[in-house]
Structure 1
Amino acid sequence: MKAIVSTKYGPPDVLELTEVEKPLPMDNQVLVKVHASSVNYGNLVLLRGEPFLARIAFGLFKPKFSIPGGDIAGVVEAVGKDVTQFQPGDEVFGDLSGVGWGGFAEYSCVPEKALALKPANLSFGEAAAVPMAGVTALQSLRDKGKIQSGQKVLIHGASGGVGTFAVQIAKSLGAEVTGVCSSRNVDILQSLGVDHVIDYKKEKFTENKQRYDIILGVNGGHPLSTYRQSLTPNGIFVHVGGSGAQMFQAMTQGFWISKTSGQKIGSFLQRANQNDLVVLKELIEAGKVKPVIDRTYTLNEVPEAFRYFEEGHTQGKVVITI
């Protein structure tokens, strides 16, 4: 089968399209013919081995997982003898980031716990955009942010992969949502039903004197003090994917702020979870959430897809068709 392979850390040029042996499912695994995948921040960490601490999980000197790709959508081709949830012909989607990656390939063997039935109203490309970014948005709002209906939520970096899902999930949970984005992305957020849009090229979110119960820092570089000014006295700031300096502040200063004030500050890392894939499937089939696709690339164009993703201006998700 054809697959994208990485044998060393580095820029997108280290990724090679090559022929590898088609895998065979073990007893608890599902063999999926992959139709599509997508690009996430975690893929970028695995590609470059940065930040360096990530190499503890990914391999110190070279990638432990030679075939990258976390999100997949495809069709079950075969199942191991212990698999009970799926059968050949099922259309599925899932997150491989916790089970060895391997999504940038024509076939992948996946533990059944990493998969769920694909939303019936999505194409394979659309479904592949959902797992990592959608679960990140869901878990950061529900589990870390403790979101409640009627709360005011600010999403900084609302037009990217995680941000577009976060806007819709927060709305589906009854929140009043403000999205921060650049001028070119205002229309996208309005089409997703956001209540208020702040164009950061024209105004600062701190200038409106509004206080928010939850702030999601999906793509921001402000110091924690800036976000705290816009939090309610008992508000929660969740660092999801901002700058490295912001992440360090959230992990260090955030602990003490959370202990000594009513405000809560913390970082969040998504955990692949089958039940949350099912939650997203239900939201999507109910018409409450939809993936936003920026660009689509073919398997042999994966290096180009990474170069575009690294520019940091994606509108929604970058999808790989296989």
Structure 2
Amino acid sequence: MLRRSVSVLSSKSFEYAAVTKKRRIKSWQLHEYGGIDELQLGSIRLPVIRDPNEVLVQVNAASVNPIDLLMIGGYGRNLFQIQRNFENELPLTVGRDFAGTIIAKGHKVRDGMKVGDEVYGFIPLHKQGTFSEVILANACHVLPIPKQLSSIESTSLVYATMTAWSALFIFGNLVSKQTDGLRVLILGCSGGVGTAAVQLLKSQDCVVFGTCSSDAVSLVYNLGADCVFDYTSPDFHKNVELEGRYHIILDAAQIGYQNIPKSWKYDTYITLNSPLLKSTDSYGLMAGLAYSASDLLDANLRAYKDSSCVKWGFFIPSTRGFEFVDDLISKEKIKPVIHKTFGFGKLQDAFKTVSEGHLRGKVVIDFSIDNDCNE
């Protein structure tokens, strides 16, 4: 039914609004915050293009990110509501990246982007997400799928690599630094963001160190890491210390600057687990912002004694950043690492896999599979 609808819409491009009320698609939605069981697969109306810069995309694949798991529980709802202009937050579709086919476009979308094009991209955190058969995306967050990759491989790279880029290039200021020989330690280098960060840094000629469990060491070395520390080793803390001072420590494992040994030396510690969204959820907007600012100030007062600093890293929906990342992906300097693929009907199982942790790359949803997961 959906594919017949798509063929009609494709031929009419933007002139589809009159028939949207009769078109319905499948979408995973939350009607209240809670656990994974709150995700419900239902039928909704086909989205309508209201912004002339948007494209309508039939989704072929999307990946599951830790932020999706957090948002199911209501994470970030207070700050995201400001960006949503206080529109109804529920029902909510999560999912941040996608690969698929353009089936309609707004009249301001560039001529080079056509109906029928295979594309991949991302959706900002405050927007309705990608676990839906058809989605709306801003054209500036969409690019053609790299020729050497499938939809599943493409979507596995988007959000994780953009998160790594945001943390390192924006918050770590690699945009303006000499990266050749820069020493970077990645905590949790075998997960989605970690594997992306290893490859991103090696493409810039950095010296890359990483931490992971013993069963992932060979994987990370194969991605190009210069030195990998097995955190199950009894000498783990000492081995990290003996390598000397790091220009950057990227915490992709939610360890926390306060929990690493004081003997580890670094210039900048970047955490992807800031208290900002959690604090505004718990204490309200103003009190949460004040609490978070106090936490960051306290962290830097402590780090200052060792000529260090602590920064929060966030995903930034940057068009230039995505173009930079896309160029590296197209040149095969960043390759997909996929932990497991599930069918569209098994989204809850995919979330459970992500919640269990110890991933080796990304968990991806294949929309062409409705029932069983690929083993």
TM-score if structure 1 supplies the norm length?
0.90
In structure 2, the residue corresponding to 1:170 is in which secondary structure?
helix
Residue identity opposite 1:229 in structure 2: S
Match of 1:33 in 2: 58
In structure 1, the residue corresponding to 2:260 is in which secondary structure?
helix
In structure 1, the residue corresponding to 2:185 is in which secondary structure?
strand
Question: Does residue 155 of the first structure (1) align with residue 186 of the second (2)?
Answer: yes
Question: Does residue 144 of the first structure (1) align with residue 171 of the second (2)?
Answer: yes
In structure 1, the residue corresponding to 2:131 is in which secondary structure?
coil
8 Å CA contact retained: 1:99, 1:111: no
Residue identity opposite 1:21 in structure 2: R
Name the CA shift for 1:315/1:267 in 2 (closer, same or farther; >3 Å). Answer: same
Q: How many pairs are equivalent? A: 315
1:97-133, CA deviations, whole angstroms, 9 ceiling, x for partnerless residues? Answer: 3461320011111121221222222110111112211
Question: Does residue 23 of the first structure (1) align with residue 57 of the second (2)?
Answer: no
Name stretches of at least 5 consecutive residues in structure 2 with no aligned partner. 1-24, 279-290, 368-375
Match of 2:364 among 294, 319, 322: 319
Match of 2:13 in 1: none
Q: CA RMSD in A?
A: 2.5
Cα separation, 2, equivalents of 1:276 and 1:12? 31
Structure 1 segment 241-320 matched on structure 2, within 5 A: 241=273, 251-257=296-302, 262-320=307-365
Deviation at 1:250, TM superposition (A): 6.5
1:191-225, CA deviations, whole angstroms, 9 ceiling, x for partnerless residues? Answer: 10111110000132444422211110110425437
TM-score if structure 2 supplies the norm length?
0.78
Deviation at 1:174, TM superposition (A): 0.9
Cα separation, 2, equivalents of 1:222 and 1:6? 30
Question: Does residue 81 of the first structure (1) align with residue 142 of the second (2)?
Answer: no
Cα separation, 2, equivalents of 1:25 and 1:220? 38
Cα separation, 2, equivalents of 1:146 and 1:271? 13
1:208-264, CA deviations, whole angstroms, 9 ceiling, x for partnerless residues? Answer: 4222111101104254373653224xx11100248999x979634233246665312
Match of 1:182 in 2: 213
Residue identity opposite 2:118 in structure 1: E
Match of 1:204 in 2: 236
Cα separation, 1, equivalents of 2:65 and 2:187? 17
Cα separation, 1, equivalents of 2:126 and 2:151? 21
Residue identity opposite 2:246 in structure 1: Y
Name the CA shift for 1:250/1:308 in 2 (closer, same or farther; >3 Å). Answer: farther
Deviation at 1:17, TM superposition (A): 1.1
8 Å CA contact retained: 1:180, 1:205: no
Match of 1:8 in 2: 32
In structure 2, the residue corresponding to 1:129 is in which secondary structure?
helix
Name the CA shift for 1:56/1:206 in 2 (closer, same or farther; >3 Å). Answer: farther
Match of 1:55 in 2: 77
Stretches (4+) displaced over 4 A: 242-245, 247-250, 257-261
8 Å CA contact retained: 2:257, 2:269: no
Name stretches of at least 5 consecutive residues in structure 1 with no aligned partner. none
Match of 1:173 in 2: 204
Match of 2:123 in 1: 96
1:268-289, CA deviations, whole angstroms, 9 ceiling, x for partnerless residues? Answer: 1111122212111110111211
Residue identity opposite 1:189 in structure 2: V
Question: Does residue 131 of the first structure (1) align with residue 158 of the second (2)?
Answer: yes
Cα separation, 2, equivalents of 1:74 and 1:238? 33
In structure 2, the residue corresponding to 1:146 is in which secondary structure?
coil
8 Å CA contact retained: 1:214, 1:231: no
1:151-207, CA deviations, whole angstroms, 9 ceiling, x for partnerless residues? Answer: 111100000010000011111111111110001111210110111110000132444
Match of 2:250 among 207, 216, 220: 216
Cα separation, 2, equivalents of 1:130 and 1:171? 16
In structure 2, the residue corresponding to 1:130 is in which secondary structure?
helix
Cα separation, 2, equivalents of 1:58 and 1:222? 24
Deviation at 1:86, TM superposition (A): 1.6
Name the CA shift for 1:251/1:64 in 2 (closer, same or farther; >3 Å). Answer: farther
8 Å CA contact retained: 1:119, 1:282: no
Which has the greater radius of gyration?
2
Cα separation, 1, equivalents of 2:143 and 2:321? 9
Cα separation, 2, equivalents of 1:198 and 1:111? 40
8 Å CA contact retained: 1:238, 1:265: yes
Cα separation, 2, equivalents of 1:291 and 1:127? 7
Cα separation, 1, equivalents of 2:324 and 2:66? 22
Cα separation, 2, equivalents of 1:115 and 1:293? 21
Match of 2:225 among 183, 194, 202: 194
Cα separation, 1, equivalents of 2:261 and 2:310? 10
Deviation at 1:73, TM superposition (A): 0.7
